[in-house]
Amino acid sequence: MGGMSFQFPPLSLSAKVILGVNAAVWAVMLILYYFAPESAATIAQLAFLDPTKVTHGYLFQLATYMFFHDLNSPFHIVMNMLLVYFFAAPLDAVWGPKKTLWFAFGAGIAGGVMIMLFHFASLAFGFGPGNPTLGFSGAALGMLAAFCLLHAEAQILLFFVIPIKAKFIIPLTIGIDFLVWVTPSSDISFPAHLGGIAFGWFMFGGSWAPQGLIRRLKYRKHKRWVDNRDKQQQKENVLKGPWLH
């Protein structure tokens, strides 16, 4: 009777935009895949994040890859869009949809940057380049991380069953993601996921976060102004002397 109940959040404006764009791209690619496969292959080669191509000037792939999903596995796009659906609404409530969209886009690019860092590390250790990456998961997990940092004490139903505080979701997600990634048959992109989460953590998770840094700079500026004002008043009091009071 008194247990936790599961409620679906409203479909927020930012979620509508993200879901609409990703669904449209997926549908167009699916149509091309069956009726114009050469065109689908050309778009994939241009848009998926291929680290080798990025190093040769295809920097736009750091952004385009996130809007494409596996055509052979609807589960790929469904899971990513479910994350967006659940966490876009509370972020919209705090920031508004415009900032939420910019944040999601930034988290996706951060996922692409992390893929490149892992690519360079892989080459440094004598491994070959990885496969091209696609999907909105880096951006979606960035949104998850932002929610968990903004609402650390909120209760989330893990797998729709297990209640857990939001602040524990980030390390749990990273741990599970890594274990799945190192299995031989895994096709997930741990670097993209880690990059998205790291972006959320950097933006909101510590004293180095931009918001906290701006607040501290404003406080220090105000404190200097107050100190200078007090010193000036002390000088004026000394110059006036007690005989003027």
Which tokens hold the place of 110? 């951060």
Distances (CA, A) of 229 to 33, 139, 224: 70, 47, 8
Do residue 65 and residue 117 come from a single domain? yes
Residue 222 placed within a domain: yes
Residue 3 lies in a domain: no
Domain range for 107 is 13-204
- The answer to whether the predicted template modeling score (pTM) of the entire model surpasses 0.75 is yes
What value does the CA radius of gyration of the chain take, rounded to a whole number of Å?
A: 24
| Closest CA relative to residue 54, chosen from 179, 180, 191, 186 | 191
pLDDT in tens, the chain (245 residues): 445 555 677 899 999 999 999 999 999 999 999 999 999 999 999 999 999 999 999 999 999 999 999 999 899 999 999 999 999 999 999 999 999 999 999 999 999 999 999 999 998 888 877 789 999 999 999 999 999 988 888 887 776 677 888 888 889 999 999 998 888 877 889 999 999 999 998 887 654 445 554 555 555 665 576 566 666 666 555 455 544 44
Residues 72 and 160 in one domain: yes
Q: Do the beta carbons of residue 140 and residue 26 sit within 8 Å? A: no
In a domain, 106, yes or no: yes
Residue type, 86: F
Structure tokens at 205: 């998770």
Residues 222 and 141 in one domain: no
* 7: in domain: no
CA–CA separation, 169 and 156 (whole Å)? 9
Q: Does residue 91 share a domain with residue 30?
A: yes
* 178 and 237 housed in the same domain: no
Is residue 5 situated within a structural domain?
Answer: no
**β-bridge mates for residue 162, sequence order:** 158
What pLDDT was estimated at residue 184? 81
4 lies in some domain: no
Residue of 143, 119, 133 lying closest to 186 (CA atoms) = 133
Return the CATH number at 183.
Answer: 1.20.1540.10
Asked whether residue 215 falls in the same domain as residue 151, the answer is: no
Residues 172 and 145 in one domain: yes
Same domain as 144, residue 75: yes
The secondary structure of the chain, three-state, reads: CCCCCCCCCCCCHHHHHHHHHHHHHHHHHHHHHHHCHHHHHHHHHHHCECHHHHCCCCCCHHHHHHHCCCCCCHHHHHHHHHHHHHHHHHHHHHHCHHHHHHHHHHHHHHHHHHHHHHHHHHHHCCCCCCCCECCCHHHHHHHHHHHHHHCCCCEEEECCCEEEEHHHHHHHHHHHHHHHHCCCCCCCCHHHHHHHHHHHHHHHCCCCCHHHHHHHHHHHHHHHHHHHHHHHHHHHHHHHCHHHC
Q: Looking at the structure, do residues 230 and 127 belong to the same domain, yes or no?
A: no
- How many domains does the chain divide into? 2
**58 within some domain:** yes
- What's the pLDDT score for residue 204? 74
Q: Are 22 and 132 contained in the same domain?
A: yes
Q: Specify whether 125 is located in the same domain as 194.
A: yes
Domain contains 8:
no
